[in-house]
Every structure is written in C-alpha cells, then in structure tokens.
Structure 1
C-alpha cells in the first residue's frame, strides 16, 4: 500500500486538477472527505476526476453514489460505524474505517481492509488536535493483524520512517499535502521516503 491521500475537508482551488495529477504520479488511493459538501457538490467533484481513476477513490459520504461512478471503496468514520450496522451488508465493496485507540482497532471486523488510527502526531490540518495517548507506543498492544493499520495525523516527510518502524502498515497524508502549497512535490517527497524505508527493510 503506497501513501494514501485524504482530501482537504474544504474547497481547494484547482482541486480536481491536483487530484488527477496525483493519480498520474502513481497515487493508488484518494479518500474523498468533504463533511460540509452536498450530494450535488460530491457529484460535481467526482465528475471532474478522470474516469479511469475513479476506482481509486474512497467515499466517506454519500455512499450511494459509488455504483453510479464505478467506485468500489467505502469509508465508515468511527461514529458512523458505531451507530449503524450498514457496513455489514456492503459486500463486494472494499471497506475502511477510522479509530482513535488500539483497543478499538483490535475489535474491528475482518470486513475492514484497513483503518486510520489518528492523530498519531499533532494534526497539521486541525490546530490543537492531538491524542491524549502516545499512539506510537500504543501500537505495541496490537492484536488485530487481519486489518491494516494506517497512521494519520501530523504525518510528514520527516517522521515517516519512525512511524513505519513502530508497527504501522502504511501512512495517510492530509495536512502535509493541502497545507503545504506544493501538494504534488510534497507527495512525491513523502512517497520517496516511504519507498526508501520499504526497500531498506524488505529487500
């Protein structure tokens, strides 16, 4: 799994051009998360993404749009996963979710391909958002190995190696991409660091 990118929660100028460029650069998964967007806003954004890349999109909202646009991945935020069992009947979609503790991660159903654990570090995109736990240490309590564990929150070029060394399976980028002013360049640098770690540890 290469580094995942999560969309900015708010409008970004030329956003779909950037997304298409990121896919051209080899991005495998892009999480579309726009909490304040309407369904029509979601439709408009999806329609501007090259159709050959739509199977790399992961929907956080408006799951009902997936089939119409050839999207086969759905994300269930933690609150949505806990308040409904709808995810249990989502086959053959590939599912992911969000969690904020290793205890919650260890209890996840095998239906979830991977889960975001956050915030591993103080968030770049949400000022003041941090965990009361040291999630880098909490990873050692992991007993769930059927779901991949993805680090989110404050992930940037400089801390990718220690994150992976501590037992995470992959990383997801948000603030490092959208707060930088150089999303393509920053993604490329983060991916290079990530791939360098993998080459050194899995020759």
Structure 2
C-alpha cells in the first residue's frame, strides 16, 4: 500500500526536520497542503525539505512551484480545481463519494476518498461510508490501487483498508500528533512495516 502523509494545515516548528524523518522511514509521498499560505511560505518549506525528497512532494496550492522544485505532482481540490495548462506531472484529487471516485479515476493518477473513519484532526468530521458499502465497492473494483483512504487513518485500521482493497493510506492527525513523541521512530517503523509488507 502507498504511504502518504498530508502536512498540518498550519506551519509548525521543526516541520522540515520531521518531514525528512518521515521520508527516512519510507514515506512514499508527502502532500503539502497549506490553505491560505502564500507562495513564498510554501517555497520556504520546500527549500528546507532535503532536495532528495522533493520528487516525492505533491502540492495542493501554488502549482507553479511544482516544476521549479521537481515535485511529484499536484492535488486538485475545491480551492484549486484545475491543473495548469500543459501540466505533465502526476495529478490527484479529493473525492467525498463513491460516485466522485468513479468519475475521477479515469482522469487522475490516484484519488483520495474521505472520510473513511472519524477524523482525528477535524472535530465532528465523522466516517461517511458504512463498512458494507466499502466492501461492496471493493468487490465491484471501484476501490482499488488507485484509491487512497483518508480520514481517521491510524496503524490500527490498516488491516481494514487492506480488506477493502484501498491502494494507499493518507495520514494527517495521527502522524502529526506524534511529532514530539519520544517513541515516534518506533511508530513510523511500525507503519512502514504494515503498509509495505
């Protein structure tokens, strides 16, 4: 399974150092999502991410930075719904229904489907899909390697995501809440094992 981490929406002290640590533990892609941040603020964070990892970064805003920093791709959302004319990198998008997944998969390298579980970072953002619906979508191959689960994803529910045939897991609140935990390296190693086994 693909291991993706989405940045905290706000800039946090030590963020670039922690991003380096995540990639060192085997992170596949980092989604740089900073709603409301300026291009200069995003550029500053990209500058502090070691160059060897920049090809694994996906931008949610300021798409003009993608080429300049050799980013993996861009992620379309309600704020930025269109890829720049002639853009040739990876393009992914956010989906909040299975109908959106069906419509979006043919036009994107991969899609996020959320919320799969109760969100950790967004209060009151509850799981939107009954287990039986996800099982059926997997059976119909609507959920497959191209669909990444987002929303409340932790180590404890990776097995369920595998059973529902998700191609990846996107982490936000779970990972960033552990940034200053002295046992974070052991947790990240555990995640890598669960996702890359």
Contact 2:26 2:192 in 1 (8 A): no
Q: Normalized against structure 1, the TM-score is what?
A: 0.84
* Residue pairs, 1:1-203, within 5 angstroms: 1-78=1-78, 80-81=80-81, 86-87=82-83, 89-134=85-130, 137-138=133-134, 140-141=136-137, 144=142, 148-180=146-178, 181-182=180-181, 183-196=184-197
> RMSD of aligned C-alpha atoms?
2.3
Q: Normalized against structure 2, the TM-score is what?
A: 0.87
Contact 1:148 1:169 in 2 (8 A): yes
Residue ranges of structure 2 left out of the alignment (5+ in a row): none
**After TM superposition, which residue ranges in structure 1, 4 or more long, deviate above 6 angstroms?**
none
Secondary structure of the corresponding residue to residue 95 of structure 1: strand
Contact 2:105 2:111 in 1 (8 A): no
**CA shift digits 1:70-122 (9 cap, x unpaired):** 113110015643xxxx3384441111110011111001152311111011000
User: For the residues of structure 2 that align with 1:91 and 1:159, how far apart are their CA atoms?
Assistant: 35
Residue ranges of structure 1 left out of the alignment (5+ in a row): 197-203
User: For the residues of structure 2 that align with 1:132 and 1:4, how far apart are their CA atoms?
Assistant: 21
User: For the residues of structure 1 that align with 2:127 and 2:2, how far apart are their CA atoms?
Assistant: 25
User: For the residues of structure 2 that align with 1:88 and 1:61, how far apart are their CA atoms?
Assistant: 11
